[in-house]
Amino acid sequence: MAVASAAAPSTDSSTQAARLAAHSAYLDGLIAMVPPKFYFPADPEEVARKFQKYTGKQPQVPKHERKMQANERKRARLDPDQANVAEQIVANAEEELAGGEGLVAAGNASGEGNYAGLNGGVLVSTVGDLRDRLTVKLQEMRGSRGGSTKDAASRERKEKQPKHQAPKRSAQTAAEAGCANGASSAGSSGTGSKRAGSALEFNKIAAAASAPKASNKKLSTAQLLAQAEEKERLRRDRLSAPDGGGEDAQIYEWQKALEKAGGIKQKDNPKLLRKTLKRQERQKKKSSREWMSRIKTVEKAKLEKQARRTQNLSERKTKNKNRAASMKKRAGFEGKRSFLN
């Protein structure tokens, strides 16, 4: 009995080991069925050759050689005898980066990150490294195209929301609140700093809400002429000074030159502004004359139409009277226009 009981655990352990080995072989077979291209990073040159066809960069390889290379890659991909598995790809990468340029990173016991890939000469060992690199790359791309991050987007969304007006408080309540704030600031540093921060935010929001909106209305030609004459007077005063206006005059001239080079139209020439103002006055007078002529034409047409209508009505009335007078009398009742009864 003792021998049988001692042999039982060994039989169970051997059966369990065989079952685990069978499961492991089955899972390895399933993994081997997945093409390596789905879990290995693609070759950057291959990606650029496939998707960046019209970048204006001249290809370094002749066209016929590129076609031959593409055909060879296609044959190798479709040849079942040359199908590379993960181990072969890793071995090939180790051979290419022999000399310390590439390292094969082993995964942990749970199986996460139990692979290695090459991307631009940098070895990727775990899924966490891939996620970190992907996050950094996305942030760089978002910053290069001028997009906003998630925090900035949420901040903009909160700022766009309508701010609800707080109920008006009386002067006594406001004074009590001010005293309470003063007492709390004299208290503990933690609560004091927190309340001070909220007060600062409230004051900033109130100042932003009460700030007047900038007017986008353009200045008229007369206003521009007045500004230009004032600037011209100041410029003459600066030039008449002994130091020629000093540094302020040079700053003004440089600023004006930069604006002109940047495409901003300079409307500070009094002579041109006077000509523009005179031209606008002439256009206004011409438009006024044309408008008055149009009003007179419309009024004349209206009077003519009314006169024609009055004439037509009078002619119709006369025609009706003549027709009634020309009607024949009834036989036997020539002297009586109406009925007897």
Q: What is the pLDDT of residue 318?
A: 93
For residue 333, pLDDT beyond 80: no
State mean pLDDT over 10-16. 82
State mean pLDDT over 97-103. 52
Q: What is the pLDDT of residue 200?
A: 53
Structure tokens at 281: 């006055």
For residue 115, pLDDT beyond 50: no
Q: Which of 22-36, 68-82, 275-289 has the highest mean pLDDT?
A: 275-289
Q: What is the pLDDT of residue 64?
A: 81
**Separation between Cα atoms, residue 229 and residue 244, nearest integer Å:** 19
For residue 163, pLDDT beyond 50: yes
For residue 189, pLDDT beyond 50: no
Residue 225, classed as helix, strand or coil, is: helix
Q: What is the pLDDT of residue 39?
A: 73
- Tokens 């996050």 appear where? 135
State mean pLDDT over 19-48. 82
Q: Where is pLDDT greater, at 229 or 339?
A: 229
Q: How confident is the model at residue 135 (pLDDT cuts 50, 70, 90)?
A: confident
Residue 62, judged by CB atoms within 10 A of its CB (0-12, 13-18, 19+), counts as: exposed
State mean pLDDT over 301-326. 93
**Separation between Cα atoms, residue 164 and residue 187, nearest integer Å:** 31
State mean pLDDT over 250-259. 79
Which of 15-19, 70-74, 87-91, 200-204 comes out lowest in average pLDDT? Answer: 200-204
Region for 113 from its dihedrals, namely left if φ exceeds 0, alpha if ψ lies in -120 to 50, beta otherwise: left
Q: How confident is the model at residue 1 (pLDDT cuts 50, 70, 90)?
A: very low
- Please give the mean pLDDT across all residues of the chain: 72
State mean pLDDT over 78-93. 66
- Helix, strand, coil fractions of the chain, as percent rounded to 5: 70, 0, 30
pLDDT digits (tens, 9 = 90+) for 265-309: 888 888 888 999 999 999 999 999 999 999 999 999 999 999 999
H/E stretch holding 124 reads: strand 122-124
For residue 313, pLDDT beyond 90: yes
